[in-house]
Each structure stands twice: as C-alpha cells, then as structure tokens.
Amino acid sequence: MKTTDFGREGEDIAARFLTEKGYHILDRNWRCGKNEVDIIAKDGDVIVIVEVKARHSSYAGEPEMAVTKDKQRILVRVANIYVQCKRLKNEVRFDIVSILMINGKESIHHIPDAFYARLR
C-alpha cells in the first residue's frame, strides 16, 4: 500500500470514528497554500481542527508524537485562515486522532484538546 493510500485510509477511519461520536465533518484535506488540515469538524458549537496520524507500528513512538510544535504552529495558522475565510465566530479546538494499524487491527486514540493555540 502506498503511503498516500495509507494516509487516506487513516483519515477515512478517523472521519468515521468522529462521525460515530456525533461530530459533523465540515471539510477534509482543507488546503491553504502548501499546508493542509486533515479534518475540520464541529463538536456541538466548537470547530475542531483534527490532525490524523496513522502508523503500522509504534516502534518510533506513538503516532501522536509526530505532531511537533512546528506542525502545531502550522495548524493554528491554517485554522485562523479557515475561520476568517468562513467568517466563523465559534470557539476552535485542536484534536489528534492517532491510529495504529497492526495485522489488520485498528487501535484508535482520540485526544481532544491535544494542544492549545499559543499567542505571542
């Protein structure tokens, strides 16, 4: 399986998981320049920016550990642009959905409020 196919499969699994939890998916793979948000959803009145990390093994650490401070800054910047473009006034939250797919079995770890936008 190609990396892009595996990434897409992980995002599909995350979108189904969030939908089953009652989230409403607003956008997927929303791009701003070269940056992208995997899933943008609503949880009640809150806009949720979701980064999906899927791996075949935890050898190099849990998938969510790949959401670095640099990636967080990018997500915050893109979220601000999304909210401005859509003229939204909602609170924004940042979640991570971490997926391990080993031997055909999925392990999903959802981390609401995984990090906060830091203002400088």
What integer pLDDT is reported at residue 106 of this predicted model? 86
Residue-wise pLDDT for 80-95, tens only, equals: 999 999 999 999 999 9
Is the pLDDT confidence value at 120 over 50?
no
Burial of 96-108, coded b for 16+ CB within 10 Å and e otherwise, reads bbbbbbeeeeeeb
**What average pLDDT does this structure show over 12-38?**
96
Output the CATH code of domain 3-115.
Answer: 3.40.1350.10
Is the pLDDT confidence value at 18 over 90?
yes
pTM for this predicted structure: 0.90
For 19, other C-beta atoms within 10 Å of its C-beta total 12
Lowest mean pLDDT among 3-17, 32-46, 99-113: 3-17
Which residue matches tokens 């992980």? 10
